Structure 1
Amino acid sequence: MGGAAHLRSDRLPGARMKRLLHTLYGEPWWHLAALLASFALCGYALARLLSGDWWGVVQWAVGAAVVHDLVAVPLYGGADWLLHRAVRAGRPRSAAPVAVVNHIRVPAFVSLMLLLVYWPSITEDSGAQYRHATLLDPGVFRTRWLVVTGVLFALSGLHLTWRFRRDRSHPAD
């Protein structure tokens, strides 16, 4: 046996350890290191968040979960059901109504997420605070949100029209 057999990578202690970790964990070592680092960062952020008004944070998190599960899920589930019924009314089953629903669902989702994130600015609840912190006018958010919503639906409608024209010009065999 020459020196080359001695230098094989599976005989080095570090290589055996990496292979054992990969066998037990299922991913490379750097994946576990990144995961542990992200947990440490989240733990630090949570400790900083809870160092002030921790009870208010807990109430907000529990309240958000309850409102989402008991109010929002039935609302958007019912709205989606109504949308499906309206699109399929009087039409035979095909893939077209599903495409129409998805082209309404996606811009509506993005628009509602923007509304949720920017609610205080859109409703101008934080007007004085926003003006004091940024020296900018807070009255532009509602108009901008409406414009973004309109553009999202217009682009989605254009894409749907393009899809229908493409499908009509190239019928399936």
Structure 2
Amino acid sequence: MADPIGRLRAGYGAGPRHLLVLLGCFVLTGWVAQRIAGEATAGRMLLWFVGAVIAHDLVLFPIYAALDRALRGALGVGRRPAGPGRLALLNHIRVPALGAGLLFLVYLPGLLGWGDETYRAATAQQREPLLTRWLAITAALFLISAALYALRRPRRLRPPRPPNPTP
């Protein structure tokens, strides 16, 4: 008889840990669905989730895929064999852009001024500084990424040291 783990990998396509984690995710999802099913706002939550999936897949994904393709083209990644310098620069632009984009989506209602009265009633504060704070955080993310790239780049460009001569 063949090895059972080998048969599992051949039939399932991954190892037993992957299967256990996936089953755990299904159990957790089922538990959450059961908890939400009794809520009065379950229909609104489901509608919001479906709307978010559609908005991401049909609107946001094509936008950021096109921006990434344009950035790759501007940096010359993909046309010729990419060295580690260009790929590192691409990732040092992608990461802060992702952080800024996610923060923008989270705070978009506040940036657009939706719910100002509710926010003021709940916190007794104004929302005016949200845009300037988002811009400051975005600038800080890009500055930190640029500083890290500048620190990492000289090490990569140094020629390898010749071996020490033996006496």
Q: Which residue of 2 aligns with 1:74?
A: 62
* Contact 2:36–2:42, Cα closer than 8 Å, also in 1: no
1:30-74 deviation digits (Å, cap 9, x = unpaired): x9xx879955762465236xx223332222221211121111111
What stretches of structure 2 of length at least 5 have no aligned partner? Answer: 1-15, 162-167
Candidates 134, 138, 144, aligned match of 1:145: 134
1:113-169 deviation digits (Å, cap 9, x = unpaired): 11111111122212111111011111111111110000000000011111112223x
Does 2:39 align with 1:42?
Answer: no
Does 2:46 align with 1:83?
Answer: no
Question: Would you say how many aligned residue pairs link Structure 1 and Structure 2?
Answer: 140
Does 2:44 align with 1:56?
Answer: yes
Q: Which residue of 1 aligns with 2:4?
A: none
Are the structure 2 counterparts of residues 56 and 138 from structure 1 closer, same or farther at C-alpha, using a change threshold of 3 Å? same
Cα distance in 2, alignment partners of residues 35 and 63 from structure 1:
22
Candidates 123, 128, 136, aligned match of 1:134: 123
Q: Which residue of 1 aligns with 2:100?
A: 111
RMSD between superposed Cα atoms in Å: 2.9
Identity of aligned residues (%): 31
Cα distance in 1, alignment partners of residues 160 and 111 from structure 2:
46
- SS where residue 136 of structure 1 aligns? coil
User: What code does the residue aligned with 2:36 have?
Assistant: L
Are the structure 2 counterparts of residues 35 and 95 from structure 1 closer, same or farther at C-alpha, using a change threshold of 3 Å? closer
- SS where residue 138 of structure 1 aligns? coil
Cα distance in 2, alignment partners of residues 35 and 79 from structure 1:
32
